[in-house]
Amino acid sequence: MDLLNTLVEKGLRRELPTREEALAVLATSDDELLDVVAAAGKVRRKWFGRRVKLNYLVNLKSGLCPEDCSYCSQRLGSKAEILKYTWLKPDEASKAAAAGVAGGAKRVCLVASGRGPTDRDVDRVSKTIEAIKEQNEGIEVCACLGLLSDGQAERLREAGADAYNHNLNTSEATYGAITTTHTYADRVETVRQAHAAGMSACSGLIAGMGENDADLVDVVFSLRELDPDSVPVNFLIPFEGTPLAKEWHLTPQRCLRILAMTRFVCPDVEVRLAGGREVHLRTLQPLALEIANSIFLGDYLTSEGQEGKADLAMIADAGFEVEGAGESTLPAHRADVAAASTASTGGCGGHAGGGGCGPCGDGGAEAAAPAAGGCGSAGVCGTAATEAPVPAGVGSAETGAAGQAAPGEVRSDLVAVRRRGTGTDLPPNA
């Protein structure tokens, strides 16, 4: 297939595909699906080999967010019956992080619901970062706290934060239909602030919110321009109690095509298989590892994920290996630039050839009004809950192998509210 050969060649050269080529990937048929996966796999292996990076989420503050993001269980007016609690103490958060590290995670993601942190909140998180770093040598810490006021990003970086997550989620054209309490430009500006402070930028998308192919290509091209080091690809979990509860449009095949398109557009970036993989990819999750080189281990923020031991077994059975704490995730040309920038500015900046963008490697957007809270993704704050009891383990024998859901069919039996780990007396899933 000439299209796929062209995309592989461009990916190996870190060359941006055309919009038409990206759209063509999403338009391929199911008969061509394995060819698409194989082509994206060639690009993935060029830059990341057969390594899989494990990331672990710690929900520092759950629920009661004033923002109205339609996909999020923690949004203003959400009826999802999720766990709700205020800030964890640094020792509690460090203990929660240790469970993920013991399971093989090399990055801990600290997330808090809300529009953005106060200075006191930044102090709390800084102490938490310091506690995690003291207990776990070589572990990366990523913060996801929403809008950062002047000086807050620098304080987080000084405390040891390696990265900052703030997802674009969807295209600029459709953003207003998803959220009204902040704008797309606000999110872009937040990523720029994190980058400018010297933190590695992490920014991704949510697929399955009613967008079309052009919207998906738009947001991935915007991410390429922003030049983050990691791009989480989330698949909407449309839980009861949120405005998008009826948006069940994704199929496993559609998810694989979206991942492949993302890999072709962002060939040398950490593409993370994030929230919703258990719900929408189901038994095809191992195929997604041929494209993505990073996953979240165990549970998400407000919903349960596949059992941690099942994640590790899936990686091994598919012929991949867990990336060690001492290994560099990024290819040398990106890692070297990040290291050089850290030495000169205290953090990482843009990456030559990564996005073809402006200063510090980020794309342009005017400074704007306050951005959204730490919510950022279907797999992060957007893992809403269902109001009815459901099986405890997504991806377990009871749920993960359930029958295929037809496009548009509501399958709330495939999701579960998180009732273990952080904020409970039960051990975490890691």
Q: Is residue 28 part of a domain?
A: no
pLDDT of residue 339: 62
Q: Residue 73's closest CA among 405, 429, 375? A: 375
Which position has the token pair 């809950």?
385
Element (H, E) at 121: helix 119-135
Q: Is residue 10 part of a domain?
A: no
**CATH code, 307:** 3.20.20.70
Q: Is residue 324 part of a domain?
A: yes
Residue ranges making up the domain that contains 294:
41-414
Q: Is residue 259 part of a domain?
A: yes
pLDDT of residue 355: 32
Which position has the token pair 């994704």?
250
Q: Is residue 31 part of a domain?
A: no
Residues of the chain with pLDDT under 70: 74, 76-81, 83, 303, 337-410, 412, 415-417, 419-420
Q: Is residue 425 part of a domain?
A: no
CA distance 251 to 281: 7
Q: Residue 82's closest CA among 386, 315, 400? A: 386
Query: Other C-beta atoms within 10 Å of 34: how many?
Result: 12
Q: Domain count for the chain, please give it.
A: 1
Rounded to two decimals, what is the model's pTM?
A: 0.84
pLDDT of residue 27: 98
pLDDT of residue 348: 33
Q: Which pair of structure tokens corresponds to residue 331?
A: 């290819």
pLDDT of residue 303: 67
pLDDT tens-digit series, residues 242-275: 888 888 989 999 999 999 999 999 999 999 999 9
Q: Is residue 107 part of a domain?
A: yes
pLDDT of residue 63: 76
Instruction: Tell how strand 270-273 and strand 140-144 pair up.
Output: unpaired
pLDDT tens-digit series, residues 21-71: 999 999 999 999 999 999 999 999 999 999 999 999 999 988 778 888 888
pLDDT of residue 81: 66
Q: Is residue 218 part of a domain?
A: yes
Element (H, E) at 60: strand 51-61
CA distance 65 to 154: 24
Active site residues: 65, 69, 72, 109, 142, 202, 272
